[in-house]
Structure 1
Amino acid sequence: MQTHLADFIRGTPAGDEADAILRKCVHCGFCTATCPTYQLLGDELDGPRGRIYLIKQMLEGSDVSTRTVGHLDRCLTCRSCETTCPSGVEYGHLVDIGRQVAEQRASRPLVQRAQRKFLSTFLPNPHLFGPALRLGQFLRPMLPRRLRRKIPLSGSSGQWPRQTHQRKMLMLAGCVQPAMLPNINSATARVFDAVDIQLIMAPEAGCCGAIRHHLSDTAGALDDMRRNIDAWWPHLEQGVESIVINASGCGAMVKEYGHLLRHDSRYAARAERVAAAARDPSEILPAHAATLKQRTHRPGNQVLAYHPPCTLQHAQQLRGEVERLLLELGVNLKPVQDSHLCCGSAGTYSLLQPELATRLRDNKLAQCEAQRPATILSANVGCIAHLQSGTRTPVRHWIELVDSLLV
């Protein structure tokens, strides 16, 4: 795709990156076949190829209309198109640039600006989110059914393992996960403990930056990243092997630190090392499958379904590892049709685009529940909470299942 960038972005790091990405696109349209919003809406501008054209026009100096902003907002950033693309177009990076330009060159309505500012301030701050969630859980029986279903029931985290091991890894606690689904982190620690790996937390670490980044609060997101790097760096220098991130959305973000901070002279090298150290549990535990088989009991014959989050299979390009590990442990896991498609959670998408998010969720649940599973498994806190809001079938993190099998 030939480009002629406008003066405002020509020669800038963002302009050079966007130009290189745009030139890879050959207009083949393979991406539209796997784009969730194109499948729902049937509008070329609500598919990757159409959005690429809109971004190209913006970068060449065209006015940015509210219609253009709307098409970019409706993108889930699921990056399924990247998995499909035969030319290696880095659509996720391009849409990030496009959204930043749109925020700078278009004016959102006041209500939208206030909503996005609230979410970028409230969700990444556990001191705000945690108490608010507990209040919502207390009031849950009195709330309207539609709102009640969005508030998860309070749960226990169980015991954190006390045994020390020679092998040590960091773990990101996350910002909403400790309050919303507290058992996931402790279950992860117990499973790693079973294979003789000790997980430790860096208390100074916080939100990975994904929430602010995808709301185009670039400065806030970069601050989140720098804070985490500062918190983790002493541990990495002392020989901690990896940073375990059990929320795949956070994992995808941390693996982008090197790219996003590459022009920061103080943090670029450390960001690259942190990104290289980030690991999803499914990158570590399969190597210990034999040990886990010895330390778990055989599961029953109940059918389980697994929804692989987009941030795991498309952003991190990790496919099949969770399923293979669960099958090796004897879990009766059934395949789900169209497992490559997004469930509609997508960070804050389910809050900002509730109609589309609900349609995608209901489609995903229909495909999962076609197997009549006793439980639906996933690998991301956002997906789990979003799916659970639409079904009575329990939805859990897959590592909680492994934890429940430990003897």
Structure 2
Amino acid sequence: MQTNLSEEAKQLPRAEEAERILRSCVHCGFCTATCPTYQLMGDELDGPRGRIYLIKQVLEGQEVTAKTQQHLDRCLTCRNCETTCPSGVRYHSLLDIGRAVVEERVPRGLGERILRQGLRAVVPHPVVFKALTSAGRALRPVLPAALKDKLPRQSYPPKARPIRQHTRKILMLEGCVQPALSPNTNAAASRVLDRLGICVLSAPEAGCCGAVDYHLNAQEKGLERARRNIDAWWPAIEAGAEAIVQTASGCGAFVRDYGHLLKDDPAYAVKAQRITALSKDLVEVLGAEPLEQLGIHADRRLAFHCPCTLQHALKLNGAVEGVLTRLGFSLTAVPDSHLCCGSAGTYSITQPALSQRLRDNKLNALESGNPEVIVTANIGCQTHLDGAGRTPVRHWIELVEEALA
């Protein structure tokens, strides 16, 4: 794709990167065929190729309108298009650049500003989020349906975490909303890892991975959170921690991107690259271990929902299914498993109508094999799908921990 960036756009910190990505696009349209929002809307501008053209126009100095912003906002950032693209276009990076420019030029209405600032004030803060979640549970009978759907239908209290020490040690990102919405997930992961001779180190100073701020166009704040986490993890890394493990693939995808996002930061570039190298989804750790020694002989019938961040960002499609099959679980077939469920971080709140349509389609596919339980690998997807009140949805590691002999 030929480009002619405006003089103003050439001054952007990521101008060269944006131009390189734009020029890598060959207009083939393969991405459009697998884009969830294009499938729903049927509008070229609600697909990756159309959004790339919009961003190109913005960077070339053409008029930026509220319609431009709307089409970019509707993108789930599921990265399905990147999996499909034969040219390796880094669409999500271009989208970040384009959204930041549009955010500066197109004022949002009061309602949108309040919603986005509210999400940034609540979601990345576990104490605040947990307090509000507890209040929501108490008031559930009188809450509107839209809020009820955001609360888990059933909470599984955390079991005690292991206290044994092992030679092998890892760090684990606790997450922002998972401790409140699914408090047993990280405890279950710790217990399974303990049985494999791996202990989980605590890094209390670590907090939100930064994805919520970054994807709501408070990009510098998101990078500040990334730097804080690097500082919090670094002593354990120097002491020999072999990995930084995430049980939520949404967090994992963003942590895995630290090296790229901070590559021009002289104080953090090298450390960020090290974090990227050590970042692992839980399934990457378990998949490399002798799982047979766990003594699990599971016979439950499950449907696995593979989050977009797991299959398209982390490129781990099939990994969880492989582990669950090794452990004896029976997995049902899931049609169109590459399509997004509509959770997409805060998307289910900022774009509720589209999100609900995607959720219903995904549940129809997941339930087509009549599973006993649906399992997934990301807390956002888990809560979003479970909120429909249909087949129960849980994190896959909880089912593994429950089957321990």
TM-score by length of 1: 0.97
Given that 2:296 and 2:328 are in contact with CA atoms closer than 8 Å, whether structure 1 keeps it comes out as no
Q: Give the superposition deviation at 1:149.
A: 2.9
- For structure 1, the residue ranges without an aligned partner over 5 or more in a row are none
Matching residue of 1:10: 10
> Partners in 2 of 1:389 and 1:283 — Cα distance?
28
Matching residue of 1:277: 278
Matching residue of 2:359: 361
> Partners in 1 of 2:146 and 2:234 — Cα distance?
43
Alignment of 1:119-130 (within 5 A): 119-130=119-130
Q: Deviations over 1:101-123 (max 9, x none)?
A: 10011111121112111111211
2:132 is aligned with 1:132? yes
Matching residue of 2:188: 187
Q: Which deviates more, 68-77 or 5-14?
A: 5-14
Residue type matched to 2:296 in 1? Answer: H
Given that 1:365 and 1:391 are in contact with CA atoms closer than 8 Å, whether structure 2 keeps it comes out as no
Matching residue of 1:72: 72
Given that 1:378 and 1:395 are in contact with CA atoms closer than 8 Å, whether structure 2 keeps it comes out as yes
Q: Give the superposition deviation at 1:155.
A: 3.2
SS at 2:223 equivalent? helix
Q: Deviations over 1:37-90 (max 9, x none)?
A: 000000000000000000000000112100000000000000000000000000
Q: Deviations over 1:101-149 (max 9, x none)?
A: 1001111112111211111121101121110111101111332344323
Matching residue of 1:211: 212
Q: Deviations over 1:244-278 (max 9, x none)?
A: 11100000000111111111111111111111110
> Partners in 1 of 2:364 and 2:244 — Cα distance?
35
Given that 2:305 and 2:337 are in contact with CA atoms closer than 8 Å, whether structure 1 keeps it comes out as yes
Q: Give the superposition deviation at 1:185.
A: 0.5
Given that 2:302 and 2:375 are in contact with CA atoms closer than 8 Å, whether structure 1 keeps it comes out as yes
> Partners in 2 of 1:141 and 1:118 — Cα distance?
23
SS at 1:159 equivalent? coil
Q: Give the superposition deviation at 1:150.
A: 2.2
Residue type matched to 1:186 in 2? Answer: A
TM-score by length of 2: 0.98
Q: Residue 306 of structure 1: which of 304, 307, 314 is its match?
A: 304
Residue type matched to 1:82 in 2? Answer: E
2:149 is aligned with 1:149? yes
CA RMSD of superposed structures (Å): 1.1
Alignment of 1:311-326 (within 5 A): 311-326=309-324
> Partners in 2 of 1:217 and 1:373 — Cα distance?
40
Residue type matched to 2:181 in 1? Answer: M
Residue type matched to 2:49 in 1? Answer: R
- For structure 2, the residue ranges without an aligned partner over 5 or more in a row are none
Residue type matched to 2:45 in 1? Answer: L
Q: Give the superposition deviation at 1:200.
A: 1.4
> Partners in 2 of 1:299 and 1:255 — Cα distance?
32
Matching residue of 2:198: 197
Q: Which deviates more, 316-325 or 375-384?
A: 316-325
1:4–1:252 CA distance, 2 compared to 1 (3 A): same
> Partners in 1 of 2:376 and 2:156 — Cα distance?
18
SS at 1:370 equivalent? helix
Matching residue of 1:349: 347
| Percentage identity across paired residues of the two chains | 56
Matching residue of 2:98: 98
Q: Deviations over 1:255-309 (max 9, x none)?
A: 1111111111111111111111100011111121x3x323233112x42100100
Matching residue of 1:398: 396
Given that 2:359 and 2:384 are in contact with CA atoms closer than 8 Å, whether structure 1 keeps it comes out as yes
SS at 1:92 equivalent? helix
Q: Which deviates more, 194-203 or 43-52?
A: 194-203
2:329 is aligned with 1:294? no
2:121 is aligned with 1:116? no
Alignment of 1:214-293 (within 5 A): 214-288=215-289, 290=290, 292-293=291-292
> Partners in 1 of 2:404 and 2:199 — Cα distance?
16
Alignment of 1:22-61 (within 5 A): 22-61=22-61
Matching residue of 2:338: 340
Q: Deviations over 1:129-186 (max 9, x none)?
A: 1101111011113323443232114430111011111000000001111111111100
Q: For this pair of structures, how many residues does the alignment match?
A: 404
> Partners in 2 of 1:174 and 1:303 — Cα distance?
28
